[in-house]
Amino acid sequence: MYNIVTLVVLLTILFGTSLNACTSLLVSKGASRDGSVMITYTCDGRFHPHLRYTAAATHAPGDSLEISHFSGKVRGKIPQVSQTYAVVGLMNEVQLAIGETTFGGREELRDPNGLLHYWNLMQLALQRAKTARQAIKVMTDLVRDYGYGSTGESFSIADTEEAWILEMIGKGENNTGAVWVAQRVPDGMISCHANQARIEEFPPDDPQNCLYSKDIISFAVEKGYYDPDTGTPFRFCDVYSPATPETRRFSDTRVWSLFRRAAPLKEFDDKIHRGLSQESYPLFIQPDKKLGLRDVFELMRDHYEGTPYDMRTGIPSGPFGTPNRCRPLVWQVDSVKYAWERPISTFHTGFSFVSQSRDWLPNAIGGVYWYGVDDTYSTCYAPLYCGIDKLPPSYTTGSMKRFSRDSAWWVFNFVANVANIRYNDMIEDIKAVQEDIESHLIGLQPAVEKTAAHLAKENPDLLKRYLTDFSVSHAEQVVSHWRELAGVLITKYNDGYVDDGSAEVQRGYSEDWLQQLVRQKPDRYRLHQSD
């Protein structure tokens, strides 16, 4: 078990180095095919993630918890609670899961002296809360008492019954506390957020569905952000995180793509994310059909395929249709600014998860943390039941400084990078293995959970071992398959040839790409100048 101080330091390193670029989807109980509450989270940034486990613990009266900087320097202390829950990644033993995206908001509202950052709040809530509502109270009470050190943040919080969005921003330097608002995702609906505040108007007298800080409006009036005398409705996102052309382009486009795929019949307007309309996308929508677990996996795999913004097409995608774009996201030519699209799937992802919380099963079985590393498009999600007490070793080791086949992240990262050599062909091989393994693991769930439910009644002590053995062994099998896949790809597509198993074939560039090349410099590539 990692002690709490060490864990907080590790989380600071993990989350503190991530880019302001993550994507979260929330699926209410009534919007899922099997009645699960699900949330997703992509933690995007150039870092090597280590999956963490924190055991449940009891604490003596008067115990305190040190909050440390990533350097190890203690920044302050808060009182410890008597009992803390076990946590696997970002899901605890009672099926509570939390994700986030950073929206930044008004820069002057960050308090650099605030003790608690968003990653502290997530971990503390997971250790101290049983439900989403409790998690909201834990997080907001802590920042009220000890200060909030991060910029604006959107949290996804799910338990077995509900999914909530909590949006929070500080109150400025040396001003302890935060202003915040939380809304429950209506049953039968889904929501998402992607680095831009999403809550607009909210019901002030509906505590079953909306919670907020008492000074959420008065503070905005005091700061001059909002004038009620204008008659303009108070909208949290407009007041504390006004939209910009950049957030429209980079954030709203991801929201649009999740919604257009979950509810294509609704035909969401792309003018909004291009900044050609002052309207906004709704906070909640009803999907055209209820979403299964694999549907949710696929929603998190997106480069705007089949739209005018499809990243597999055009000159930037090269001769083999790669959707990946090197950073920086914004670039300049002749004093004019340009930008690449920012997709949901990006090769800059450290890790991602899809959580399932299910009220008809015991907690140890009902909560599943489907975990993947590197790019969501080419990763393979492995199920980790929230009742386990050990982790697959390959997901807990490794460093950005040194390649290692023992590290799950490096194995997946290697396959994803190799795929860029001939993306349009290699990705089909990767997707075939991905679908086969994920479908197999999903298909195993009923049998695994039937056995686990029997053990929960007849031999609870064996239940934890059974779920741990299943989770660890199958996660390691996934990594083993990816090691093999790396060898298959480099063999099949060696030196520009394609070995289909029977013969090596020369498969050149696409006709479309060759035509683009010739149009740019027709004389440069002409074989006979007289032609």
Find the mean pLDDT for residues 135-161.
Answer: 98
CA distance linking residue 34 with residue 23, whole number of Å: 23
Tell me the per-residue pLDDT of 443-502, one tens digit each, with 9 for 90 and over.
999 999 999 999 999 999 899 999 999 999 999 999 999 999 999 999 999 998 998 777
Tell me the per-residue pLDDT of 389-435, one tens digit each, with 9 for 90 and over.
999 999 999 999 999 999 999 999 999 999 999 999 999 999 999 99
Tell me the per-residue pLDDT of 53-101, one tens digit each, with 9 for 90 and over.
999 999 999 999 999 887 788 999 999 999 999 999 999 999 999 999 9
If pLDDT is split at 50, 70 and 90, which confidence band does 2 have? very low
pLDDT at 266 over 50: yes
pLDDT at 352 over 80: yes
The CB-based long-range contact list for 10-14 (8 Å cut-off, 24+ gap) reads 10/50, 10/52, 11/52, 11/119, 11/120, 11/122, 11/123, 12/68, 12/69, 12/70, 12/117, 12/119, 12/120, 13/47, 13/70, 14/43, 14/47, 14/49, 14/50, 14/119, 14/350
If pLDDT is split at 50, 70 and 90, which confidence band does 531 have? low
Spell out a b/e string for 340-370, using b for 16 or more CB atoms within 10 Å of the CB, else e: bbbbbbbbbbbbbbbbbbbeebbbbbbbbbb
Question: What is residue 493's DSSP assignment?
Answer: T
Is pTM beyond 0.85? Reply is: yes
Place of tokens 């677990």: 293
Find the mean pLDDT for residues 97-112.
Answer: 97
CA distance linking residue 428 with residue 419, whole number of Å: 10
pLDDT at 18 over 50: no
Residue 14's pLDDT is 46
Q: What is the mean pLDDT of the chain?
A: 94
If pLDDT is split at 50, 70 and 90, which confidence band does 529 have? low
Residue 516's pLDDT is 87
277/3: higher pLDDT: 277
Tell me the per-residue pLDDT of 6-15, one tens digit each, with 9 for 90 and over.
343 344 444 4
CA distance linking residue 427 with residue 317, whole number of Å: 14
